[in-house]
A and B are shown apart, each in its own frame.
Chain A
Amino acid sequence: MNGPMELLRALKFFSLLLGVVLLTGCGGGSPVATDTLIYGRGGDANALDPIHTDIGESVKVIVNIFEPLVAYDTETVDLVPGVAESWETSEDGREWTFKLRPNVKFHDGTPLNAEAVVFTFERIIDADHPYVFNNIIPYYASYTEIEKVEAVDDLTVKFTLKQPQATFLSAVAMFSSGIVSPTAVKKYGADFTRHPVGTGPFKFEHWKPKQEILMSRFDDYWGEKAGVARLVMVPSEESSIRVTQLKRGEIHIADNLPPAEVDSLEKVPGIVIQSTPGINVGYLTMQTRKPPLDQPKVRQAIAMAIDRDRLIEVAYAGHAEKAKTMVPPTLWGHGENVPERPYDVKKAKALLEEAAQENGFKLPVKLELFVMDQPRPYMQQPRQTAIFIKDALEKIGFDIEIITNDIGQHFQRMTRGEHQLGLSGWSADIADPHNFLHTLLHSTNINEIGGNNLSQYKNEQVDELLDAAQFELEQDKRAELYEKAQMLIYEDSPVLPLVHVPVRIAERDIVEGYKLHPSSQTRLKTAKFAEP
Chain B
Amino acid sequence: MSTASLDPARPVSSIKSRLTKVPGLWIGGALIFAFAFTAMFASVIAPYSPDERFGQNEPPSAAHWLGTDSNEKDVLTRVIYGSRLSLVASIASISCAVVVGVGLGMLAGYRGGRTDMFVMRLIDIWLSFPSLLIAFLVIAALRPGWPAVILAVALINVPVFVRQVRAEMLSLKHAAYVEAAIAAGAKPSYLVIFVFLPAVSGTIWVLATLGLGHAILEVAGLSFLGIAGDPSHAEWGAMLVEAKEYLHATIWPALAPGIAISLTILGFNLFGDGLRELFSRRSRSF
Residue ranges of A at the interface with B (Cβ–Cβ < 8 Å): 238-240, 243-244, 247, 258, 260-261, 264-265, 313-314, 317, 371, 373-374, 381, 383-384, 386-388, 390-391, 394, 401-406, 409
Contact = CB atoms under 8 A, between A and B. Distances in A.
Contacts of A374: 226
B145 interface: yes
A258 B69 CA distance: 14
Interface string B209-253: 000000000000000001111111000000000101111110000
B122 to A, nearest CB: 29
Contacts of A387: 71, 231-232
Contacts of B53: 391
B143 interface: yes
Given A384-B70, A384-B71, A406-B227, A260 B244 contact: no
B167 interface: no
Given A261-B246, A314-B72, A404 B228 contact: yes
Given A314-B71, A384-B71, A402 B245 contact: no
Contacts of A260: 56-57, 70, 246, 249
B124 interface: no
B34 interface: no
Nearest to B247: A240
A371 B238 CA distance: 15
B51 interface: yes
Interface in B50-74: 51, 53, 56-57, 70-72
A405 B144 CA distance: 7
- Contact size range, B: 20 to 34
Nearest to B223: A404
A383 B228 contact: no
Contacts of B117: none
Given A240-B246, A260-B70, 15 more contacts: A239-B245, A240-B247, A243-B247, A260-B57, A264-B249, A313-B56, A314-B72, A373-B226, A384-B70, A386-B232, A391-B51, A391-B53, A394-B51, A403-B144, A409-B140
18 contacts: A243-B247, A243-B248, A258-B245, A258-B246, A260-B57, A260-B249, A261-B249, A373-B227, A384-B70, A384-B242, A386-B232, A387-B231, A388-B71, A402-B231, A404-B144, A404-B226, A404-B231, A405-B144
Contact of A403 (B230, B245, B249): B230
Provide the main secondary structure of the chain A interface.
Answer: helix
Q: Which 10 A/B pairs are nearest by Cβ-Cβ distance? A: A373-B226, A387-B232, A402-B230, A240-B247, A383-B231, A258-B245, A390-B232, A387-B71, A243-B248, A264-B249
Nearest to B56: A314
Interface in B184-227: 226-227
Given A240-B244, A260-B70, A402 B249 contact: no
Nearest to A375: B245
A389 B229 CA distance: 17
Nearest to B230: A402
A371 B248 CA distance: 25
Contacts of B244: 238, 240
A250 B229 CA distance: 36
Nearest to B51: A391
A417 B66 CA distance: 41
B152 to A, nearest CB: 14
A146 to B, nearest CB: 39
Given A404-B226, A409-B140, A386 B231 contact: yes
Contacts of B144: 403-405
B255 to A, nearest CB: 14
B138 to A, nearest CB: 14
A403 B143 contact: yes
Interface string B125-162: 00000000000000010011100000000000000000
Contacts of A409: 140
Nearest to B233: A402
Contacts of B231: 371, 383, 386-387, 402, 404
A384 B249 CA distance: 16
A244 B228 CA distance: 27
A387 to B, nearest CB: 4
Contacts of A401: 145, 230
Contacts of B230: 401-404
Question: Which of B70, B72, B140, B245 neighbours the largest number of chain A CB atoms within 10 Å of its CB?
Answer: B245
Interface in B17-71: 51, 53, 56-57, 70-71
Given A401-B230, A403-B143, A261 B71 contact: no
Nearest to A402: B230
A261 B248 contact: yes
Contacts of A261: 245-246, 248-249
Nearest to B52: A391
A334 B245 CA distance: 34
Contacts of A240: 244-248
Nearest to B225: A373
Contacts of A403: 143-145, 230
A355 B203 CA distance: 59
A387 B245 CA distance: 16
A318 to B, nearest CB: 10
Contacts of A388: 71
A284 B249 CA distance: 29
Question: Which of B71, B72, B228, B231 neighbours the largest number of chain A CB atoms within 10 Å of its CB?
Answer: B231
Contacts of B232: 386-387, 390-391, 402
B248 A383 contact: no
A34 B202 CA distance: 65
A239 B246 CA distance: 9
